[in-house]
Amino acid sequence: MSFEKEIKEIFAKGHEKYLRSVSVDCIIFGFHENELKVLLLQAKYAGIWALPGGFILKEEHMDDAAKRILQQRTGVDDIYMQQFYVFSEPGRSTKKANKQFLKNVGIEMEDSWMFDRFITVGYTALVDFSKVQPVTDILSSDCKWFNIHDIPEMILDHKNILDKALDNLRLQLNYHPLGYNLLPEKFTMPELQKLYETILDRKLDRRNFQRKIMGTGILKRLNETKKGVAHKAPYYYKFDLRKYQKALKGGMGFEL
Amino acid sequence: MSFEKEIKEIFAKGHEKYLRSVSVDCIIFGFHENELKVLLLQAKYAGIWALPGGFILKEEHMDDAAKRILQQRTGVDDIYMQQFYVFSEPGRSTKKANKQFLKNVGIEMEDSWMFDRFITVGYTALVDFSKVQPVTDILSSDCKWFNIHDIPEMILDHKNILDKALDNLRLQLNYHPLGYNLLPEKFTMPELQKLYETILDRKLDRRNFQRKIMGTGILKRLNETKKGVAHKAPYYYKFDLRKYQKALKGGMGFEL
DNA sequence: TATCATTGCGTTATTATGACACAATGATAA
DNA sequence: TTATCATTGTGTCATAATAACGCAATGATA
């Protein structure tokens, strides 16, 4: 199907396939080179950036819609995702944006479900950066990672959504374990600490951090040290999945 | 407008007024006689109970929709409300329920936006029990308070929504102050403690509770004691609004 | 072989928490 | 009038959690 035809299809008949007035936007976090990253799409024509998003199929759970969207953008399956907030400002003006988009593509259309007002549900995802292959979608010309401190101009209220997602992530950090989805299987303690420091945006004491993390029991130390470092070699660790899952539900019971 | 005509209007033309496929359900908590209560509506014909809910006007913020619904049910304005979760199971089958309802009323209708699948956004509200005048709506035959431990059969997934709301309320308790919207302006320390105990569903140590609550600074003790009690008279307290609001945003920094 | 950044493991002072003691209060009963 | 009693306000103490910091071990590099 040609690009133009596909767009036409979505605008003209999407409401037969998807729920009306509701969209899903994903904030996909990754961790790479000691920096927290977010995966963004560049909207075609407009040129500015957007969160990966999509719609909910008529018989689909919203969680599955979010997973589907994320799978399509990253190629990654089996991911930790959760909704964190619904954005419903009447002034979001998706209508205006979608009309402008159609105009840019060169399609005339009198009416479309895409011109309705939309509310959007924000989902946060944490993914292993190294496993992700960013994939562009039909509405986008580019798909790539951005440092959390270097976010470009974004469409609609997407910057606001991203900020809220970050706030939420920081809150979660206090009550849930974190890292299993963001780090490779084996990692060192300094790496894990750096992840926490990056998200919280502040320094943590190396020794106290180790004590608390180990206190939760979610980590297992391997009999293996990192090679090729110009100083004392740190041990590798990996997550104890059973205890990790347990802590996910029951909370960790400490503050950083 | 007659009852039947009004129903017809909603089913036939509601989509011109409201957003499609999205509803709002309110879990309205109140505190009375040392018991946590929830305000429920009795669905007409079906006879079983439901959360007060409604739809979002085409140009309305979802928060305002929730407030509007709550205002109509309770007569109470200026309320602490917040969304806490979106329920989107495809099997919620609002379609079936709404068709059955129409049939019960005796109206024939081929198609309606009300037969679409709906997702619903849950809102929790905390209200001063004594100020509430429960009001029935057009779809309901009764509206009253239920003890949280004595919930009747409910339609759809409303029992599940209520349970999630309670979980959420308990979680919030650890990080946010609570009580301003649930208690009268003046109250005693034992009353506040009872509120916490009721929500958490466990006993707290009287002396430690006082120490921690006062430690947050959100309370001001008045130079006035409760009269007519057959023992030592407790002081009245009221909330220090400035510090209360601050704690709402920044968290309280303690565990109960 | 010395240097150096970094790691693993530890100590100490401070603060927070849970469990409990005791005197004060004020209506009710004797 | 006085004793009783449930309940409140305040305080103590042992224990646990937290923050701040010390020091020897490691292993590539100079």
Across the interface, do B58 and A19 touch by the CB < 8 Å criterion?
A: no
Please say whether the beta carbons of A219 and A208 come within 8 A. Answer: no
Angle at B34 between CA B196 and CA B66, to 5 degrees: 70
Across the interface, do B83 and A85 touch by the CB < 8 Å criterion?
A: yes
For A240-249, how does the pLDDT look when each residue is reduced to its tens digit (9 = 90+)? Answer: 999 999 888 8
Q: How far, in Å, CA of A236 to CA of B13, rounded? A: 63
Nucleotide closest in space to A230 (CA vs C1') = D28
Q: How far, in Å, CA of A108 to CA of A102, rounded? A: 7
The candidate with the shortest Cα–Cα distance to A176, out of A95, A249, A85, is A249
Pairing of strands B18-32, B35-43: antiparallel
Q: How far, in Å, CA of A175 to CA of B244, rounded? A: 23
For A220-236, how does the pLDDT look when each residue is reduced to its tens digit (9 = 90+)? Answer: 999 999 988 888 999 99
Instruction: For residue B197, give both structure tokens.
Output: 């105990």
Residue A218, pLDDT > 80, answer yes
For B147-168, how does the pLDDT look when each residue is reduced to its tens digit (9 = 90+)? Answer: 999 999 999 999 999 999 999 9
For B88-120, how does the pLDDT look when each residue is reduced to its tens digit (9 = 90+)? Answer: 999 888 888 899 889 988 899 989 999 999 999
Pairing of strands B49-50, B18-32: unpaired
> What is the reported pLDDT for B21?
96
Task: Provide CB contacts within 8 A for B57, sequence distance 6+.
Answer: B17, B18, B19, B65
User: How many interchain CB pairs under 8 A, A with B?
Assistant: 54
In this structure, of A12-16, A112-116, A179-183, B250-254, the range with the lowest mean pLDDT score is B250-254
**H or E, element range at A238:** strand A235-239
Q: How far is the CA of B33 from the C1' of D1 (A)?
A: 37
Task: Provide CB contacts within 8 A for B49, sequence distance 6+.
Answer: B40, B41, B42, B43, B146, B152, B153, B154, B155, B158
* CB-based contacts of A236-240 (< 8 A; 24+ apart in sequence): A236/A186, A236/A187, A236/A188, A237/A186, A237/A187, A237/A188, A237/A189, A237/A192, A238/A185, A238/A186, A238/A187, A239/A177, A239/A179, A239/A180
Across the interface, do B85 and A89 touch by the CB < 8 Å criterion?
A: no
> Helix and strand tally (H, E) in chain A?
7, 10
Q: How far, in Å, CA of A191 to CA of A196, rounded? A: 9
Please say whether the beta carbons of A184 and A128 come within 8 A. Answer: yes
> What residue has its CA nearest to the C1' of C24?
B232
- Cβ contacts (< 8 Å) between A60 and chain B: which residues? 90
pLDDT band (50, 70, 90) for residue B253: low
SS in 3 state form for chain B?
A: CCHHHHHHHHHHHHHHHEEEEEEEEEEEEEEECCEEEEEEEEECCCCCEECCEEEEECCCCHHHHHHHHHHHHHCCCCCEEEEEEEECCHHHCHHHHHHHHHHHHCCCCCCCHHHCCCEEEEEEEECCHHHCCCCCCCCEEEEEEEECCCCCCECCCHHHHHHHHHHHHHHHHHHCCCCCCCCCCCEEHHHHHHHHHHHHCCCCCHHHHHHHHHHHCCEEEEEEECCCCCCCCCEEEEECHHHHHHHHHHCCCCCC
- Cβ contacts (< 8 Å) between B20 and chain A: which residues? 19-21, 116
Point out the residue among B22, B86, B89 whose CB comes nearest to the CB of A21: B22
Q: How far is the CA of A196 from the C1' of D18 (A)?
A: 18
DSSP conformational letter for A185: S
DSSP conformational letter for A190: H
In this structure, of A98-102, A207-211, B210-214, the range with the lowest mean pLDDT score is A98-102
Point out the residue among A62, A89, A90 whose CB comes nearest to the CB of B86: A62
Three-state DSSP at A237 gives strand
> What is the reported pLDDT for A255?
67
For A25-35, how does the pLDDT look when each residue is reduced to its tens digit (9 = 90+)? Answer: 999 999 998 88
How close B238 gets to chain A, by Cα (Å)?
Answer: 29
For A6-53, how does the pLDDT look when each residue is reduced to its tens digit (9 = 90+)? Answer: 999 999 999 999 999 999 999 999 999 888 999 999 988 888 999 999
Whole-prediction pTM: 0.93
pLDDT band (50, 70, 90) for residue B139: confident
How close B89 gets to chain A, by Cα (Å)?
Answer: 5
Instruction: For residue B49, give both structure tokens.
Output: 């109970």
> What is the reported pLDDT for B47?
86
More confident residue, A255 or A103: A103
Sign for the CA dihedral angle at A134, A139, A141, A142 comes to: negative
The candidate with the shortest Cα–Cα distance to B83, out of B26, B37, B129, B163, is B26
A81, β-bridge pairs: A125
Please say whether the beta carbons of B170 and B199 come within 8 A. Answer: yes
First to last CA, chain A: 52
Residue A254, pLDDT > 70, answer no
Nucleotide closest in space to B230 (CA vs C1') = C27
Place of tokens 């600074």: B217
Q: How far, in Å, CA of B118 to CA of B122, rounded? A: 13
pLDDT band (50, 70, 90) for residue B251: confident
